Structure 1
Amino acid sequence: MDQQAAHRAHARMVRLSRVLLASYRQLKRDRGLADMADLEACAEHLLADAELSGWVQERLDARVRHLLIDEFQDTSPLQWRTLDAWLSGYAGAGGGSSGQRPLSVFIVGDPKQSIYRFRRADPRVFAHARDFVVTALDGAHLACDHTRRNAPRVLAVLNAVFAHAQAGGRFDDFRPHTTDVSEPPGAVWLLPAVPRPEKGGPVVAAGGWRDSLTTPRTEPEEVLRRIEAEQVAVGITALLAEGGLAPGDIQVLCRKRAPLALVAQALRERGVPHATPEQRELMAAPEVRDLVALLDALASPSHDLSFAQALKSPVFGASDDDLVALARAARAERLAWSEVLLRGAGASRAALDRARALWPGWLAAAAALPPHDLLDRIVDEGEVRERYAAVVPPAGRLLALAAIDALLAQSLLLDGARHATPYNFVRALRRRRVLLPPQSAADAVQLLTIHGAKGLEARAVFVIDTMPEAPKAETATLLIDWPADAAHPHCCAFVASESRCPPSLRALMAAEQEGRAREELNALYVAMTRARERLVFSATTPHRAAPGPSAWQRLAEAGADAVPPSADAGGTAGSARSAESPVVLLALPRVRLAAEPSDPVAADADTEAAQLGRAVHRVLEWLPADAALDAAAAAA
């Protein structure tokens, strides 16, 4: 290569490197999948380019001696193209271009755990890479079906589920698993599936006129999901009461995040600490919405709705009567609520007096201070952290305080702190999808999606919503046929409606649907293998069942132990309660952690007093909650 050509190649390399760096920085800012694809395409182009690849590979060869890639089953064809362009240079090259010992490659993966199709992950890439390492790099293929995590009972049900799926042609390459664990034996339970009432039944009926100020709207589907969440929360409480398990030993998993919010509410009502380690939206936190409403009211004093939310928040603690008095005064004087407040309406009310004392100073500060300084002053003078800590239950207190701190941090980080006024900061927060940093607590029930639980484990795992509704046909689908050994896709087509797929694409559509079904089974495998000792499945009877057996049904066929439903005084949990929260009585079977020695003396100690105590306990379980409390109070 002459000097001029070398300069051109170097300049081109610099341009591509700049594009790569810019894509990476954009990815860090927005964390978008499109930016990730651009970054991968740029890296593939850099390593496949005839003029630049030698220069890049020479430097990689001089720097890298060992290459370890974990979770390889989640690799996409585009990502493999980048690796293939690099590793192919070592095929039969002995010590590589450096003349030293060859590069060692170690790839770890499990196609049964490939659950990232939305990122174009293809488990076939793992098989192709495995064959490449064996043939081109003279490597070895090592397979392991032995675990040191799962109890025997968990593995027995797992083996039965996937052996049956493989026999039905829905799964492949599964071999029975073995375990080093012998004690405890473990348990797999199926909670009673929440029944769906007949059309027009008490849950579905509208129930007449509803006072929207005092009675929340009740959606029939949400009622059923709330019953399932209550049942799961009762099961968790029963395990904790049994002893031997702490909240940090329990996980609740689901394919979607929405049901986890209902479980969080049910756990919060019972005072069970819980945490959501996965990232969630900043504006989804109630504490953040309250403070953003306060900033909005300071930036726009005539915005009565934001002002009312700020007054109602724990920052001031106004009651409904306080707001009604303020609204009547504002209507009489035809002024904004904030102006009426400063004129003295609703005197002798503690919350409004507190707002009158703080509001003028904050209003003046909003006109002069940047968002962070204003928020810092509000949090300090308004004792925001202390007031929220006083009203939020202990189970959610740490998350609430972390959300307040995250809002303060975003006032300095969002868009490089370019929003110098509260008005622009509020608009940017409502326009952008800003994520809270992941929060975890050591001794709290972990609420996770199955994707978020990848690589984690717990002594007891609850998997919810295991009878999902049949998915609706997608209105727009991207079909891609990209074999792992191909340099580019063989076919890429947009389908406007899956129900009206063109005949020429039906084979590709069938392959896409087969891949989705396989991923559902992979997600079931991931969820089941998180449990070390106990695995509990819950479900709600779907309105329209998905084709094929559900996860709950697969475990039932595999011999999982069914927990018998318990009926309270109002009937079964899913039949007669519509507006109020259901009361579910549930006691999970006890699992002996180890063999207990027989004690004839203890057996003879079954006195009349002990029998009476067990009888009273059983009667209290049969009673509804209110009656049980009354009976206990009367006995005291």
Structure 2
Amino acid sequence: HILVDEFQDTNFLQWSIIKKLTEEWRAGFGAKRELMIEPTIFLVGDEKQSIYYFRGANVEVFSNAKDELKHWFPESKFSYIEIRDNYRSLQSIIDFTNKVFGQIMNPKDEAPAWKTRYSAFERRRKNEHRGRVEIILTHCEGNMEERRGKEAELVAKRIISLIGNLYVYTKEEEKKTCSFGDITILLRKRTYLSLYEQTLRRFAVPFVVLKGVGFYEEPEVAFLRSFISFLADPSDDYNLYCVLKSPLFGFSERDLFMINQEVGPSLFYRLKKFGEKDHKRSGDIKCLEKWLHQCHEMPLSLILEEMMGERQGWRVFWQSQPRANVKKFIHIVEDFDREGRHILRIRDYFEKNMAKEEEPKANVSPEGVDAVRIMTVHAAKGLQFPVVFVVGLDEKVAKKDIESLLVEERREGEVVIRYQPEYSLRRSDRLFLEKRYKEEEEEKRLFYVAVTRAKDALFLSGIWNTHQTSRLGWLKESLHITETDKGFKIGEEI
């Protein structure tokens, strides 16, 4: 018996392997047949959730396999079951999903197999409350970073307004007020992740990033890097400045101005002279001098642990993500201590790797943590959340350019490779254009996956624009959203 789950994410090569595994018994031979055991093949998937075209998945395999199975088995042995029951979402979210995707996933009968066809959901969840769907739009004439910044502020403010005011439901369908831990922000990609993080911090919204990157750019990690750089070289004015300005030491700009009125070759020298006059800061200076002395006698990781304890660092970085990042950083230093690395080599390692944007943040389990989750739509596939924010509606989903090299599995046993360096020729080439249309079709499926993660409330946000090849463009098309003097208007009830 063969069971293939998530079949929509397979390709023709993988399907050919499955066919090889079944070849013998389909022909009526093999040990199982001789023992009168009837083999079966069971494929489970959803074409609308095929979102891995960029790494080789081919949604066409789904419909091709269905046709082949019909050919393999007699009608009495073959069954195709399309499940339309929805046990996850409240009625408003289902109505919205049916309305939007019934419009944008509605190809003609003769359309190719990679065109996605939508079938409407029916609610089976035993909860009569309608739930909520909101589309949050605003204007911004700036560049993309400014647009995302303005949107991030809107999202942060809306999240704060929901806490204690919006009702969500437990697994037992008991009503409760919304908390931060009920909310998830879904990103199409991580390009502006740091901007959303900065904005949520500014509005004091606790959050965790699942499968996030940019570890070395996080504020708590940047502080620890600066602390190590100062211990390695006490004349490093810049990194000492970062340490003193951090919340663990709390020196103000006025303090630093007064320190720099002293005369001396380095900031640390001037700090010590300043401490002779201002005894309120003498404790800070003694701590720094102690750790400078210890860094040549004891493991650096122990000094970091001691510093975090003495300076109330665990209270400062109390949220789950910063706390986990600090622990990850200390574990990295522990490994270097075991190798016997000198502090200068440890400092050099962090200076070399601080620009590595792909370094993952510490893994944080969101279970039991009252914090907003942030993740990509791909990471959210298969999950569900009481409240979902789908952001960046106005981002263009079609690439500006078509890549000059095309490598694609067209059908079983056939791979097409075509190179066309001239952009003007790529724009009129059937294969290059078809690839672009397939990518746009996958963006619709990615949008569908994002929307259908929501159980009780769905919020969609973006900046108003006229682009049609965006998720906002699809909403304007399906819901007849127009710009008015007073803001925006949906042309008909959902």
CA deviations on 1:403-434 (whole Å, 9 max, x unpaired) are 111111222458x9647233333433442543
CA deviations on 1:532-591 (whole Å, 9 max, x unpaired) are 23222211134xx5444x32343345449999998xxxxx99xxxxxxxxxxxxxxxxxx
Aligned equivalent of 2:9: 74
Aligned equivalent of 1:628: none
Aligned equivalent of 2:388: 461
Matches within 5 A, 1:325-364: 325-329=258-262, 332-333=263-264, 335-342=265-272, 344-349=273-278, 352-364=281-293
- Find the aligned partners of 1:98 and 1:292 in 2 and give their Cα distance: 66
Q: Within the alignment, does 1:407 sit opposite 2:329 as a pair? A: yes
- Find the aligned partners of 1:417 and 1:501 in 2 and give their Cα distance: 58
Out of 467, 475, 480, the residue aligned to residue 555 of structure 1 is 475
Aligned equivalent of 1:17: none
Task: Tell me which moved more, 521-530 or 124-133.
Answer: 124-133
Runs of 5+ consecutive residues of structure 1 not aligned to the other structure: 1-65, 198-203, 205-219, 390-396, 567-571, 574-636
Counterpart AA for 2:430? A
Task: Tell me which moved more, 177-186 or 74-83.
Answer: 74-83
Higher Cα Rg, which structure: 1
Matches within 5 A, 1:414-433: 418=339, 420-429=341-350, 430-431=352-353, 433=358
Out of 153, 159, 167, the residue aligned to residue 230 of structure 1 is 153
- Find the aligned partners of 1:419 and 1:128 in 2 and give their Cα distance: 59
Counterpart AA for 2:121? H
Secondary structure class of the residue paired with 2:249: coil
C-alpha contact (below 8 Å) 1:73/1:125 kept by paired residues: yes
Shift in alpha-carbon separation, 1:437–1:128, aligned structure 2, 3 A: farther
Deviation at 1:514, TM superposition (A): 0.7
Counterpart AA for 2:229? D
Shift in alpha-carbon separation, 1:421–1:367, aligned structure 2, 3 A: same
Q: Within the alignment, does 1:492 sit opposite 2:417 as a pair? A: yes
Deviation at 1:253, TM superposition (A): 1.8
Aligned equivalent of 2:442: 519
Aligned equivalent of 1:273: 206
Counterpart AA for 1:337? L
Runs of 5+ consecutive residues of structure 2 not aligned to the other structure: 168-176, 489-494
Shift in alpha-carbon separation, 1:320–1:455, aligned structure 2, 3 A: same
Secondary structure class of the residue paired with 1:539: strand
Matches within 5 A, 1:181-220: 181=125, 183-191=128-136, 193-197=137-141
CA deviations on 1:356-398 (whole Å, 9 max, x unpaired) are 2122332233334444344334334444324444xxxxxxx22
Counterpart AA for 1:75? T
CA deviations on 1:36-71 (whole Å, 9 max, x unpaired) are xxxxxxxxxxxxxxxxxxxxxxxxxxxxxx554332
Aligned equivalent of 1:150: 89
Counterpart AA for 1:279? G
- Find the aligned partners of 2:478 and 2:99 in 1 and give their Cα distance: 5
Aligned equivalent of 1:579: none
Higher relative contact order (CA 8 A, sep 6+): 2
- Find the aligned partners of 1:278 and 1:540 in 2 and give their Cα distance: 26
Shift in alpha-carbon separation, 1:558–1:157, aligned structure 2, 3 A: farther
Q: Within the alignment, does 1:365 sit opposite 2:290 as a pair? A: no
TM value normalised by structure 2: 0.80
Counterpart AA for 1:554? W
CA deviations on 1:568-615 (whole Å, 9 max, x unpaired) are xxxx99xxxxxxxxxxxxxxxxxxxxxxxxxxxxxxxxxxxxxxxxxx
- Find the aligned partners of 1:139 and 1:420 in 2 and give their Cα distance: 65
CA deviations on 1:142-190 (whole Å, 9 max, x unpaired) are 3212211122332222222222224466943322222213611233222
- Find the aligned partners of 1:413 and 1:67 in 2 and give their Cα distance: 45
Deviation at 1:509, TM superposition (A): 0.8
Aligned equivalent of 1:165: 104
Identity of aligned residues (%): 25
Deviation at 1:94, TM superposition (A): 5.0
- Find the aligned partners of 1:327 and 1:107 in 2 and give their Cα distance: 71
Q: Within the alignment, does 1:435 sit opposite 2:435 as a pair? A: no
Secondary structure class of the residue paired with 1:338: helix
Shift in alpha-carbon separation, 1:72–1:303, aligned structure 2, 3 A: farther
Counterpart AA for 1:299? A
Shift in alpha-carbon separation, 1:148–1:472, aligned structure 2, 3 A: closer
Shift in alpha-carbon separation, 1:142–1:399, aligned structure 2, 3 A: same
- Find the aligned partners of 1:150 and 1:473 in 2 and give their Cα distance: 35
Deviation at 1:465, TM superposition (A): 1.1
Aligned residues: 462
Secondary structure class of the residue paired with 2:185: strand
- Find the aligned partners of 2:279 and 2:38 in 1 and give their Cα distance: 77
Out of 294, 301, 311, the residue aligned to residue 234 of structure 2 is 301
- Find the aligned partners of 1:475 and 1:510 in 2 and give their Cα distance: 8
Task: Tell me which moved more, 116-125 or 399-408.
Answer: 116-125
Secondary structure class of the residue paired with 2:152: helix
Q: Within the alignment, does 1:533 sit opposite 2:456 as a pair? A: yes
Deviation at 1:457, TM superposition (A): 1.5
Bigger strand share = 2
Out of 149, 154, 162, the residue aligned to residue 239 of structure 1 is 162
- Find the aligned partners of 1:350 and 1:257 in 2 and give their Cα distance: 47
Counterpart AA for 1:437? A
Shift in alpha-carbon separation, 1:408–1:132, aligned structure 2, 3 A: farther
Q: Within the alignment, does 1:282 sit opposite 2:245 as a pair? A: no
What is the RMSD of the two structures over their aligned residues, measured on CA atoms? Answer: 3.6
- Find the aligned partners of 1:78 and 1:413 in 2 and give their Cα distance: 42
- Find the aligned partners of 1:560 and 1:366 in 2 and give their Cα distance: 66
Deviation at 1:262, TM superposition (A): 4.3
Aligned equivalent of 2:171: none
C-alpha contact (below 8 Å) 2:200/2:207 kept by paired residues: yes
- Find the aligned partners of 1:323 and 1:513 in 2 and give their Cα distance: 56
- Find the aligned partners of 1:538 and 1:72 in 2 and give their Cα distance: 32
- Find the aligned partners of 1:90 and 1:297 in 2 and give their Cα distance: 70
Aligned equivalent of 2:491: none
Deviation at 1:287, TM superposition (A): 0.5
C-alpha contact (below 8 Å) 2:407/2:417 kept by paired residues: yes
- Find the aligned partners of 2:261 and 2:419 in 1 and give their Cα distance: 57
C-alpha contact (below 8 Å) 2:406/2:418 kept by paired residues: yes
Aligned equivalent of 1:385: 314
C-alpha contact (below 8 Å) 1:157/1:560 kept by paired residues: no
Matches within 5 A, 1:84-103: 84-88=19-23, 90-92=25-27, 94-96=29-31, 101=37
Secondary structure class of the residue paired with 1:538: strand
Counterpart AA for 1:538? S
- Find the aligned partners of 2:41 and 2:304 in 1 and give their Cα distance: 52
Counterpart AA for 2:159? I
CA deviations on 1:108-155 (whole Å, 9 max, x unpaired) are 211211122332222123334444555558764332122111223322
C-alpha contact (below 8 Å) 1:312/1:318 kept by paired residues: yes
Secondary structure class of the residue paired with 2:462: coil
